[in-house]
Structures are given as C-alpha cells and as structure tokens.
Amino acid sequence: MDKENVGTTSKPEYPSQHYDLYKYNGLVANQCTRRDKILIELKKRRNDQVDELRGIDEIFEDDDDENGEELMEVVEHCRKRYKRYHSRLMLSEWMCEVPVDLEENWLFKICPVGVRNIVVANKGLTKVYNRRGEKKSVFQSNLPGGGKFSKAITFTLLDCIYRAQEKTYYVLDVLVWNSHSLLNCSTEFRFFFLRNKLLEDPTLNSESNKFNFVYLTDHQALLPTIEEELGREYSINEIEMAVDGVLFYHKDCPYLSGQTPIVTWLKPYMIPEKLQLPVHESYLANKPKNYTTLQEYLNYIQTKYKKKRSTEMIVDNMEAEIIEESNEMDD
C-alpha cells in the first residue's frame, strides 16, 4: 500500500486508503451480530452441504493414467471457476467492535506497506492481478504450476502483498495450492498449510529468483502477543519496513471473496484506542494530526462520501483502493 500522506496543516487530513471500501452499507452497525450470523451460516453449510470443490484434493492425488481424462475435466472446471478470483480477494472491514472472543478465536498478521495482489500460477507461467482483476505482471516462478517444469494442469492461487523494494510477494493467504482447493478450509488450517509449503521449498525464496515468495507470519491474537509485536519496529528477514496495518482473521472461517466482518483491520495507531495496548512510538508518529477516534473517521467518510465520489482517483493499494482527495476536511 502506498504510504499515505499525513496532513501537516491545522485542518485534519484523514487517511483515505479505506475510503472506497467503506461505503453506505451499514458496516458500522452491529458488526458482531453480522459476524455471528455469518459463522452460524457457515457452520450450517458445512453440516448440510458438500461443496463442489470440497474434495478436489483427493481427486488430484490420483494420477493414474486411466483417470487422466476425468482429471482434465475437473481441472478445467476448477480453472474456469477460479478465474473470478482474480478480482475477488477476501477483504476486511474496520474493526468497529472488538470481538469478545478475540484472544480465543482470532489470528492476526502485521502487514507491511505494499500492493495487494492475487498470484495465479498455471501452464508454466505466474500471473499477477490486482484486486480489480487487471493483469500486472507475468513471469516464471517455482510455485506449483508457475514454472517451465510444472505440469500444464497444475495451478496455484495466492493472496499476496507485493513490495517492489525487495521484489518480494509476502503471502497472506492461499486459495489453491498445487491444484488442491483450500477455499473451504479454516483460516487456521490454511495458514498452517501455507507456512509449511513455503518453508519446505527454499527455492521460493532464493536470490536466483526474479521474485521471491515469503510467508507473512501469523500470530494468535493474544493481547500480550499483540503488544509485543507492535511494541517494536517491524522487520521481515532483518529488513525493516513500514507497517500498513494489522489484519485480524477469525480462525474458523473459510476463504470468502469480497468484504467480510470475519476479517477486520486496524491501523497501528488505532491499537491503543481499540485494544488499550501501547504501540511503538514510530506508529503513533504516523497518526494524522487531527485523528481522534475510528468512529469519528467513519462518520467523516459517511458525510463526505457523496461529495468526494465525483473527484476521486482510484489507484492500486494493499487492502483497498485509495481515494486521493484534492481538498482537506473542513473544520
């Protein structure tokens, strides 16, 4: 995510990276109620239905020649299905209400400043799309399906943050790995699976690569852990980098395209307000001069949205589309 400009005048200039994401759709009201409803519906769906892709991993494990034709049909079906995910990332809501089960049932990831993308490895090429489905890059990688030595039918889909400074894709989540669908798996399992797959293959993070793939570490959302991680400057592999925000994931949720309350987001300077935890002074230095509370910021969005819509300019971003505003917020 491009680092936002913080106003230095007496008029408050709020950060705008979630401005387009946060519209008149009642997201502030009853966030916990909506979240509980989604979790109940997901549990019921697991009990009552067998998703068409739920058993795809078992299908792909069978490499017998006699099943080759059937395998190709399944892969083609899934490939068509996954095309829509080029622009269907799982997006967060602001954490308007702190979940009562935060420490028990949630995980968090600290996100560096970068650009949110979905990476599709298939037919010997690795293609990168932004959240609107626009192709941004094509190259060969060591991801399953993404290099010249990969099987043509193999494909992998990853949810990533790209940082040009390190030429690295920091991997947030996984939708498909080596033709195994993980869409219906819990967040906790997806993270466990992804972490192991990326760590067991050192060629994915090698100086010989044009681009590297590095797992973005997850943590249990225990308050002492959050305080510890945000109580120091952020670095990955001893490389210091600016923090964009913190994503909180419910550990039992599947990968859902679009915006959902089972993934929430806070800027680092909002942590003291929402979780009553101290953070490193560098994060507070990035707080807009006249920022008071998250609720006031959201009220500002609601009152200004229609006025700004006609003058907005949308650009690529990590978690949302930035709205570059030409005017400062009125007093």
* Residue at 119 is within a domain: yes
* Residue at 165 is within a domain: yes
Domain that holds residue 121: 31-323
- Tell me which residue has tokens 């699976």: 193
The pLDDT assigned to 185 comes to 95
At 234, phi and psi to the nearest 5? -90, 140
* Residue at 133 is within a domain: yes
The pLDDT assigned to 255 comes to 94
The pLDDT assigned to 10 comes to 34
The pLDDT assigned to 299 comes to 85
The pLDDT assigned to 29 comes to 56
Distances (CA, A) of 61 to 67, 84, 121, 176, 248: 11, 25, 19, 14, 33
* Residue at 278 is within a domain: yes
The pLDDT assigned to 209 comes to 82
What string of DSSP letters covers 219-234? EE--HHHHHHHHTS--
Distances (CA, A) of 84 to 44, 80, 120, 262, 308: 25, 8, 12, 21, 29
The pLDDT assigned to 76 comes to 55
- Count the Cβ atoms, other than its own, within 10 Å of residue 27: 17
The pLDDT assigned to 28 comes to 53
CATH classification of the domain holding 42:
3.30.470.30
Integer Cα distance of 25 and 29 in angstroms:
9
- The DSSP H or E segment spanning 180 is strand 180-181
The pLDDT assigned to 132 comes to 80
Eight-class DSSP state of 122: E
The pLDDT assigned to 5 comes to 34
- Count the Cβ atoms, other than its own, within 10 Å of residue 76: 11
* Residue at 279 is within a domain: yes
* Residue at 16 is within a domain: no
Q: Return the bridge partners of 235, or none.
A: 240
Digitized pLDDT (tens) for each residue of the chain, 331 residues in all: 443 333 333 333 433 343 333 333 445 558 888 998 888 888 777 665 444 444 443 333 333 344 445 445 545 555 554 455 455 799 999 999 999 999 999 999 999 999 999 999 999 999 999 888 888 999 999 999 998 888 778 999 999 999 999 999 999 999 999 999 999 999 999 999 999 999 998 888 887 788 999 999 999 999 999 999 999 999 999 999 999 999 999 999 999 988 999 999 999 999 999 999 999 999 999 898 889 999 998 888 777 765 655 434 333 335 543 322 222 333 3
* Residue at 114 is within a domain: yes
- Amino acid at residue number 185: C
Query: For the whole model, what pTM was predicted?
Result: 0.76
The pLDDT assigned to 313 comes to 33
* Residue at 13 is within a domain: no
| Structural domain count of the chain | 1
The pLDDT assigned to 78 comes to 54
- Count the Cβ atoms, other than its own, within 10 Å of residue 12: 18
The pLDDT assigned to 93 comes to 94
